Amino acid sequence: MKREISNTHFQEAKTFFPGGVNSPVRAFGSVAGSPLFMVKGKGSQIQDADGNWFIDYCCSWGPLIAGHAHPKVQEAIIGAVENGTSFGTPTVQENDLARLILDNHRFIEKIRFVSSGTEAVMSAIRLARGYTKRDKIVKFEGCYHGHADALLVKAGSGLATLGTSSSLGVPESYAAQTLVLPLNDIAKLEALFESEAKAIAAVIIEPMPANNGLLLQDLSFLKRLRALCTEHGVVLIFDEVISGFRVGFEGASGVYNIAPDLITLGKIIGGGLPVGAYGGKKEIMACIAPEGGVYQAGTLSGNPVAMSAGYAQLSLCLAENFYADLRAKTAYLAEGIQKYSIENNIPFSVQWVCGIFWLVFDKNPQVQNTAQIHEKSSEYFKILYNFLLEEGIYLGPSAYEVGFVSAVHSYEDLDKTIVAFHKSLQKLYNI
């Protein structure tokens, strides 16, 4: 596979940007080699600067549930741009997208649009603190919620600990406001609530954690979390930046039928343009300025071009059988890949939900917290990743990132991918 042109672009990019990129994981740091510069996307496929085509399972890290350059989304963007790109005033496009969401989502009574998932989460946390007049927040090890200071925190192993930041530049006193728990552990959750509940403003969780592998939680754990938050007046925030509109229109909240107090959204909601949102219970949302005293604003919030793209894409998601078809495709892909490892008795499996899959370098796909992830996962992934690239399959370049299936991946794409996986696994495991 030719990579000369991408390599040249990357050398130049390194003179412009720290590490040559504008978001760290793009640098291919954990799969070696330099990143591919993409020039074009159509449907399920992308093309790099050297002319190589790939079946894409990164899908811009999740936003492109209708694939690249979907005609309806393109049309909406072009139509909006013809009237200008931004006014800094209310526009009817904001109303349209909000109506579409509120009419079809049981757990969002009011919404506020922002420009990224990070901004959505950061604002929801401030809102929860303003609403409860408490300071502490709880997050779970292995969940990523964007790069706001309070959330770049991980715990030492074992018990809930005071957070220490996983990034330089976050004051210790700030990180100490974040408590971290292991996922799927009811006993530790109950113990923390017993000692700290009165100080906790919010618990934030990815209800289908998908940033450190796909760590599907027991429903009993999520239900217990909901009950404890209700009992102690703690705001429960479901971070559905990935799962929102992906595993169903109502995201994981809908699949599990659990009503969080606030939901954060991003990715799919913007149809490939920069949009985030947070929403939920009216009573809590009423605390945001100008209605309430929690300040949050944005020059480009609710941008009409981005709203139009989001509206077009979410309208596609509302088509009959959209999620049933996406789920069937994901199952077909995951089971097709996994068949090979079962037949050849290799320690490899695929964990999946509707539209999301994750490669598990172990026999058991039921990994539910970070401690259960096989220590050699990165090592195996790095080798497999490069074999797959050569076969024309593009995944996000990290063992801990999930893959995304879009509605426009065809069964022919999936069959090609299954064959590519079988060949690559054969080489990886020397069969």
Residues that bind ligand PLP (rule: CB under 6 A) add up to a total of 15
Q: Is 267 a catalytic residue?
A: yes
Establish if 211 lies at the interface with ligand PLP (CB under 6 A): yes
**What is the number of the residue whose Cβ is closest to ligand PLP?**
117
Which C-beta is closer to ligand PLP: that of 193 or that of 278? 278
User: Site residues for ligand PLP, window 131-160 (CB under 6 A)?
Assistant: 144-146
Establish if 304 lies at the interface with ligand PLP (CB under 6 A): no
Establish if 250 lies at the interface with ligand PLP (CB under 6 A): no
Establish if 121 lies at the interface with ligand PLP (CB under 6 A): yes
- Residue from 136, 139, 267, 281 carrying the catalytic annotation: 267
Which C-beta is closer to ligand PLP: that of 239 or that of 413? 239
Which C-beta is closer to ligand PLP: that of 354 or that of 428? 354
CB of 401 to ligand PLP, least distance (A): 9
Phi/psi for 204 (5° steps) reads -115, 135
Which C-beta is closer to ligand PLP: that of 129 or that of 145? 145
Establish if 216 lies at the interface with ligand PLP (CB under 6 A): no
Candidates 117-125, 326-334, 362-370, 378-386; binding stretch for ligand PLP (CB under 6 A): 117-125
CB of 284 to ligand PLP, least distance (A): 19
Instruction: Write the binding mask 30 to 69 for ligand PLP: x where contact by CB under 6 A, - elsewhere.
Output: -------------------------------x--------
Establish if 272 lies at the interface with ligand PLP (CB under 6 A): no
Q: What is the 3-state secondary structure (H, E, C) of the chain?
A: CCCHHHHHHHHHHHHHCHHHCCCHHHHCCCCCCCCCCEEEEEECEEEECCCCEEEECCHHHCCCCCCECCHHHHHHHHHHHCCCCCCCCCCHHHHHHHHHHHHHCCCCCEEEEECCHHHHHHHHHHHHHHHHCCCEEEEECCCCCCCCHHHCEECCCCCCEECEECCCCCCHHHHCCEEEECCCCHHHHHHHHHHHHHHEEEEEECCCCCCCCCCCCCHHHHHHHHHHHHHHCCEEEEECCCCCCCCCCCHHHHHHCCCCCEEEECHHHHCCCCCEEEEECHHHHCCECCCCCECCCCCCCCCHHHHHHHHHHHHHHCCCCHHHHHHHHHHHHHHHHHHHHHHHCCCCEEEEECCEEEEECCCCCCCCCHHHCCCCHHHHHHHHHHHHHHCCEECCCCCCCCEECCCCCCHHHHHHHHHHHHHHHHHHCCC
CB of 428 to ligand PLP, least distance (A): 27
- DSSP lists the bridge partners of residue 239 as 264
Return the residue of 118, 178, 212, 369 that touches ligand PLP, per CB under 6 A: 118
Establish if 306 lies at the interface with ligand PLP (CB under 6 A): no
Which C-beta is closer to ligand PLP: that of 49 or that of 151? 151
CB of 241 to ligand PLP, least distance (A): 3
Q: Which residues are catalytic?
A: 144, 239, 267
User: Given the rule CB under 6 A, which residues bind ligand PLP?
Assistant: 61, 116-118, 121, 144-146, 206, 211, 239, 241-242, 266, 276
